[in-house]
């Protein structure tokens, strides 16, 4: 297999083995929590569908807890053959318990990666919306504290009309509100479970896609298996929302820079 570079895992000791060109572990290892969460839901569903027994389920869940702890603490030993976080987790679980060989039953890497990416994106949106809300609260507090203070409003760096300082602060708050609404709307399309779509056309095994969707907090399950494993629209849409958020934040930053200059002297 073609090789490209010498791997290095998370600042730990360098690995002298050349990594395969298709290796993605350096990038997708950040998905370990989502991968383990998705696997927990999947194996619980397998047990509920009588595809694994209770003893196997218990052993796998204990192994997943151990793997999550090892990765989180930095003690997890990645192998040169771990081409991505998904194979790394499965390999380690199977080392801990032979039942680990069954965790991929009724699942493909395709729907596994898709669910991990959706879980990661959903979590990121939730964290970012929370941060925006906190910034909005700060702006609202500043507006309320400004009282009757008046400042000149500018167009093209030319003085235009006098406005209250609170009116200025809230102008940024309203722009951020649109960012919240866009991200919240994008989240509705993120929150669809692709588990059960398999490689591209599902599985003949009697799995329960609604059970895994519910366990992982998804609003709905996929309608078309081909689309489910191929869809990355939600990533592009989220990135657009974040790019526009960046524009709005840069406007605040630029105003701070201008107001701190000697020409303005508003901030000392």
Binned at pLDDT 50, 70 and 90, residue 23 comes out as confident
Mean pLDDT score, 230-246: 98
pLDDT on residue 267: 84
pLDDT in tens, 60-94: 999 999 999 999 999 999 998 899 999 999 999 99
Paired tokens of 44: 């619980």
Closest by CA position to 212, among listed 201, 198, 196:
196
Instruction: Answer yes or no: are the C-beta atoms of 50 and 11 closer than 8 Å.
Output: no
Beta bridge partners of 171: none
Q: What is the DSSP string of 35-76?
A: HHHHHHHHHHHHHHTTSS-HHHHHHHHHHHHHHHHHHHHT--
Residue 242 to residues 9, 115, 182, 183, 224, Cα–Cα distance (Å): 28, 21, 9, 8, 28
| pTM of structure | 0.89
pLDDT on residue 13: 44
């Amino acid at each position: 297999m073609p090789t490209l570079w010498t791997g290095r895992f998370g600042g730990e000791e360098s690995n002298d083995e050349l990594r395969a060109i298709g290796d993605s572990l350096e990038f997708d290892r950040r998905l370990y929590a989502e991968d383990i969460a998705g696997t927990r839901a999947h194996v619980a569903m397998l047990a509920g569908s009588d595809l694994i027994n209770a003893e196997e389920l218990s052993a796998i869940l204990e192994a997943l807890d151990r793997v999550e702890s090892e990765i989180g603490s930095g003690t997890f030993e990645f192998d040169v053959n771990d081409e991505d976080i998904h194979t790394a987790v499965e390999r380690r679980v199977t080392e801990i318990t032979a039942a680990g060989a069954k965790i991929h039953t009724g699942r493909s890497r395709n729907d596994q990666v898709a669910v991990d990416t959706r879980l990661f994106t959903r979590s990121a949106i939730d964290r970012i919306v929370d941060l925006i809300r906190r910034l909005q609260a700060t702006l609202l507090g500043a507006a309320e504290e400004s009282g009757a203070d008046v400042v000149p409003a500018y167009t093209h760096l030319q003085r235009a009309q006098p406005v209250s300082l609170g009116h200025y602060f809230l102008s940024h708050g309203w722009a951020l509100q649109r960012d919240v609404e866009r991200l919240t709307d994008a989240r509705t399309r993120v929150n669809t479970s692709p588990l059960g779509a398999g490689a591209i056309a599902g599985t003949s095994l009697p799995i329960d896609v609604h059970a895994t969707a519910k366990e992982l907090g998804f609003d709905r399950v996929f309608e078309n298996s081909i689309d489910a494993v191929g869809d990355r629209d939600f990533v592009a849409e989220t990135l657009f929302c974040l790019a526009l958020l960046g524009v709005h934040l840069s406007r605040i930053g630029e105003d701070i820079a201008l107001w701190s200059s000697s020409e303005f002297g508003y901030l000392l």
